Structure 1
Amino acid sequence: MTDAAHDLARWLGRQAEAVCRHYLSTGGRQGHYWQVGDVRNTPGRSMFVRLRDSAKGPAGKWTDAATGEHGDLLDVIRESRGLSNFSDVVAEAQAFLRLPPNSRDAESPHRTPPCSPRDPVISARRLFAAAQPISGTVVETYLRNRGITALHETGRLRFHPRCFYRPDAHSPIQPLPAMIAGIADLRGRTMGVHRTWLAPDGSDKAAIATPRRAMGHLLGHAVRFGGTDDVMAAGEGIETILSVRTVLPNLPMAAALSAAHLAAIAFPPGLRRLYFVRDSDPAGNRARDSLLSRAASVGIEAIVLSPALGDFNEDLRAFGLDALRAELRCLVAPEDVSRFMMLSP
């Protein structure tokens, strides 16, 4: 990259979120990242654009967890606009940078943006600390309404009676009850939270546009149930993982919260077997392929657990606990049945 192109990429990086809102409009912010389907602005959640400088790299760098592609914001402009000549990419980037701030939600590239006093990890830790255990709350009601009765080792789940929800930057804040899930790294440190806003009686999720949101540092981390062991299971959703845990109550599990995050989840030291709890959709298939490849490259045996319906919570609710137990017993390695499986109600 020439010095001029490098400077242009750096200026774009200073306002990475504005660039993403303009060129990757089908995606959305998740913590320190913009999440979208791919660099061509396809809807989805497999591509991550870093929105702030960090020890891992500068703002504007992106990686597609499904394909392994990576690049900077000049690549985003090129691919999202279908430009073949670099001179056209430069012209487009310069035109974007000359837009008035109120039309692109960003500062001038020649001004250093002010440091934000709000660290999303600190905010996440404060929210998690302010929440309470789920026992006797609408979170417990919500999970039991979804057929989930194994609520042991759920200290990473908490309840907040008035968790703020705002549909967008121009809407008023609504305080709503929410399930707060602590997202942790392999050392057990809270790196983010996932919020699921609930109906006041816990009968379902709240009737709002986006009842699930995350904040903080998410990539590689997960909502974890049970201690680290040589065998574990990993899947996308909290409800999916807890459904499997009703049958495998002694197996450590992790909910990565999305297919893209699942593909990038960190493996604990000493892990020798990984159960991949799959969702039956295209994103789940891509996550499966990526995770199986990563596991094989470091000598971890990977076993896929596939539901009969869309996910294992659907199976649990549709067929019941005994049917789910029979379903999983056929998929789990024989030596893990006696070790982890609940063989009777």
Structure 2
Amino acid sequence: MISIEGLIQPFGQRTVLDQVTFTAEDGKVTGFLGPNGAGKSTTMRAALGLISPDGGQCLVDGKPYQTLSSPMTTVGAVLDAKSAHKGRSAYAHLMALAASNRIPRSRVDDVIALTGIDSVKKRRSGSFSLGMSQRLSIAAALLGDPHNLILDEPINGLDPEGVKWVRELCRFYAAQGRAVLLSSHLMSEVALTADNLVIIGQGRILETTTVTDFLNEHSAKSIRVVTSEAAKLRAIFARSPQVQVLPVERQSTDPQEGEVFRIIGAELLQAAQVFAQAQLLVYELVEEHASLEEAYMTLTHPQVQYTSRELPGEAPISYGQAPLPPAGQAIAGYQSNGTQAFPPVANGGANAAGQVNSLRHMSGREMKEGRQ
């Protein structure tokens, strides 16, 4: 179990972590979600003893990381996919970790096979793609067969097969009664894996819940209607101020396909009865729920630090449907040399929560004995 209790961490004039408190339970995958710069990596580094917060404490199986007698069998972590020495092979990197922590050499072969890097284990890690580097980092995290896993954006750079494998790995570890803390800024990915959700924004915990409860609480029901009688539809609900009739953009401009509307504040059965009485021509009538991603974006949008300026034009180009302009003619919003025709957006400053070489915490010499 990983317990984070009242973490406070300032950085200059800004508070990076403000009373951050949550628990990653045994037997559960806990999704740690938030926009870039929200404090996810800083929290994980604090849990691993890489930084000393000004307030609060982090416990792994009831103890601070610095006091663990067998750190690699207690917790494995992925913080930086490119942490391995670029001049070392994957095999040499894992062997160094195993030797410094008294882990049997046979365990190196086990994690190499488990992560699928056997064919490249003799190659220098500096030549690895981001996806292969990510697999090597996961192999290092699994080396001690730990009871807890802390994974910071573990699917970055992975292909679809690798993403699926990480999901299965997290579920497998949780099913064995272990704790998995998985960070991401993508709700769509975490929702496929996590049991519990911890959502952070600008260093503060916004919500601690389950996937199911989060969707039930934040997603509002609506009715999708496709009709060619837009004026009639609006007139039906004109005297119902609690009902909103919102137009929905669609790619087709064929009037015979009808217009799409989202109705908020009305029940499906009620709407169907009213439409029948009014003899409204309806092509489609279906109840919809907001997706997890939409609910997550609604919750975290006020906390986002880095926002991009909208591209010029009414709608983005849909590749395969809109032809490119003739050679020599600039695309709308861009100059002929391909550069943007409007000023670039400032990045708002460097990220305070930079990555730390994971070898620093993966090779504690205080480990008493290895574990097969």
Q: Provide the TM-score with structure 2 as the length reference.
A: 0.23
Q: Bigger radius of gyration, 1 or 2?
A: 2
Structure with more relative contact order (C-alpha pairs < 8 Å, separation 6 or more): 2
Q: Provide the TM-score with structure 1 as the length reference.
A: 0.24
